[in-house]
Structure 1
Amino acid sequence: MTDADRCKLPGNDIEDSNTENNDTEYLSFYSDASEVKRKEAERNAYQQIILEHIGYDYIVDDFNRHMLDEIVGLMVDVVCSEQEFIRIGGDRKPLSVVKSQFLKLDAEHIRFVLHCMKENTSKVVNMRQYLLAVLYNAPLTISNYYSSLVQHDMYEGNI
């Protein structure tokens, strides 16, 4: 069978097919648009949840609004991430674990994080990674941190 014969087989009618005017681009545009809207709605919902959990309206006056907004934005980015793992302090943690930890944060945890940032005297090279680690570890370390401060103050005779 020659190439000319193959071209005459049913379904190989290249001249009659109109590939330039198909609707796949049109359909993918609209399916992408609906996916974008769904992601935006999910992002907005999680942002509202986080703002409520941390008591944003109550603590915003106590802290730099821009710093607080950056922390909230970072939390929303992580919670809405599509990555399977998030790197926290050099470890790869499953997104579900990090998401759960971030959604547990409240106003005291955020105060703790901002206090730690204020007390930090080291140069932070990667602020995003630093904040991710501090936010993730806040519920795990807040009690020990404040206990340590009390012990220090008692030893120094300040209490």
Structure 2
Amino acid sequence: MQLLEYISFLLLSSVKFFFFYPVFITKEDYNFLEAMTFGLTAGFIGSSTFIFFGDVMYQFFHRLALKKAITHPPKEKKQRSIKHRRLIVKLRDDYGLWGIAFLAPILITIPLACILATRFYHNKGKILGHFMIAIAFWSALIYIFKSSLIHLIS
């Protein structure tokens, strides 16, 4: 049963890194090397899946949205979607691929950030490299924060 739990947390961490990674490394009381290995593995699974297969998923959902628009024409454009688009364009223009990669594990989900990055940038190897560096950074920072917090408590 422990293997199933490990795989579950690995897959959940590959999608919602900031929520599930700290829980699992705290629960299992991982040392730094184990925590980094787990974080990088989860990040690699999530990033590579959504970078290399995100185009297929994007096209699928885009077709679904087109079909929905044909059968149910939109009544009025929402102001909220314009604000989100502006935020995404500002993020891309101000911070580039590094900004998207570094915000992915903590603010944006890895799948959404990967699909977003492949919309703006086309070198998938470069995108994966940026995401892995960002995930390594966040894995180390979360581990250090968790260890410091545990030392303060005990």
TM-score for the superposition, normalised by structure 1: 0.25
TM-score for the superposition, normalised by structure 2: 0.25
**More helix by percentage:** 2
Structure with bigger gyration radius: 1
